[in-house]
Amino acid sequence: MTDPVAPTPSAAGSEAKPVSVVVKDIVQEYPSENGGVTRVIDRVTLSFDRTGINMLLGPSGCGKSTLLHMLGGVRPMAVKTPTSGSVSIDGKECHDAHDDSVMVFQRYANRPDLSVFDNIAFPFRLKLWKSRVPESEWRRRVADMLEAVGLADKAGLRPAQLSGGQNQRVALARALVLRPKILLMDEPFGALDAQTREEMQRLLIDLYRSWPCLVVFVTHDVTEALMLGDRVIVLSTQPARVADDFMVNEARPRSAAWQRSAEAQSLEERILNQLHASPGKGQVRVTI
Ligand SMILES: Nc1ncnc2c1ncn2[C@@H]1O[C@H](COP(=O)(O)OP(=O)(O)OP(=O)(O)O)[C@@H](O)[C@H]1O
Ligand SMILES: [Mg+2]
């Protein structure tokens, strides 16, 4: 995986040793309505061995969210059909949510009763993070994150007093304040208008530059995949298999001119061909 963005000094520390995530021969079946089972993921093997932004695309319902959770060690809950295959993080087989992995969802998951500051600081109420990070350190980190996501003057407001984009900034800050090795993002900007989505993409690029980690980012938006990704992985329709997997070597931020270049156009076509090769097709947003 290429990493055109060099880590800044603030990124030194726990990220110095790159994390490795390997899913091998993953098969996931879910109970179907007729009493049988539906295979959702079919023998997917993927390996991530360094920091970088990895984009995961695929038709609607093909199993992206299921696979994304597994990359953090999380198996589907309350399902009688177990996952087969293995998930290894840093060389150790993983059967449960991994402590170094955090997730950001489209629906922010901010607590309505807490201020912006307390929402970002929320993980430090939990035993694991309380024991890992002293209070003076997490308070400093929360203050840094408030600055980094541009919400320093909104620290005392509640989520209902914020816009969608600002709420997603809070969710991103809450994830990055933990300095995760693995950041899993499930269509995080999918509900935002086009302009806010672009602002959030620029913000993610800036935050990644300061706190690089292994990012896996699910999107339906082909342009988003090309503007953000070091690597683009395309899944086929259900049952999901890896249909394509390639690198994008252009440094970020990627310009409008690059977006219009022959290289970008041909990568876009390559992704769309794979998505359209899937019989189910699903929703694909192209904003180039
Ligand atoms: N707990 C469950 N029990 C039964 N079926 C499930 C369960 N979770 C997911 N599924 C089914 O598995 C398939 C894949 O779901 P998943 O959410 O992983 O897909 P996705 O690619 O993320 O979809 P979308 O593009 O809509 O976000 C879907 O058909 C879904 O209905
Ligand atoms: Mg999903």
Contacts of 14 (CB under 8 A, 6+ apart): 179, 181
Q: Which residue is associated with the tokens 């993002």?
A: 185
**CB of 61 shorter than 6 A to ligand 1:** yes
End-to-end CA gap in the chain: 24
Residues 235 and 242: beta-carbon distance below 8 Å = yes
Of 49, 48, 27, the closest CA to residue 38 belongs to: 27
Residues 97 and 74: beta-carbon distance below 8 Å = yes
Counting from 1 in the atom list of ligand 1, the atom nearest the Cα of 67 is 18
pLDDT at 276: 85
**CB of 105 shorter than 6 A to ligand 1:** no
Counting from 1 in the atom list of ligand 1, the atom nearest the Cα of 79 is 1
Retrieve residue 270's tokens.
Answer: 């390559």
pTM of this prediction?
0.91
Interval between CA 220 and ligand 2 midpoint (Å): 10
Interval between CA 134 and ligand 2 midpoint (Å): 35
Residues 26 and 43: beta-carbon distance below 8 Å = yes
Interval between CA 63 and ligand 2 midpoint (Å): 7
Interval between CA 8 and ligand 1 midpoint (Å): 38
Interval between CA 30 and ligand 1 midpoint (Å): 9
**pLDDT 10s per residue in the chain (288 long)?**
333 333 333 333 444 578 999 999 999 999 888 888 999 999 999 999 999 999 999 999 999 999 999 999 998 887 888 789 999 999 999 999 999 999 999 988 999 999 999 999 999 999 999 999 999 999 999 999 999 999 999 999 999 999 999 999 999 999 999 999 999 999 999 999 999 999 999 999 999 999 999 999 999 999 999 999 999 999 999 899 999 999 999 999 999 999 999 999 999 999 999 998 855 444 455 544
Instruction: State the DSSP code for 275.
Output: H
Query: Going along the chain, which residue ranges are E strands?
Result: 21-31, 37-48, 52-57, 84-89, 92-93, 101-105, 182-186, 214-218, 231-235, 242-247
Distance CA 107, CA 164 (A): 9
Counting from 1 in the atom list of ligand 1, the atom nearest the Cα of 61 is 23
Retrieve residue 192's tokens.
Answer: 């935002």
Which ligand has the shortest distance to the CA of 41? 1
pLDDT at 14: 43
> Which residues crowd ion ligand 2, with CB under 5 Å?
65
Nearest CA to ligand 1 atom 14: 63
Q: Which CATH architecture has domain 20-100+180-277?
A: 3-Layer(aba) Sandwich (3.40)
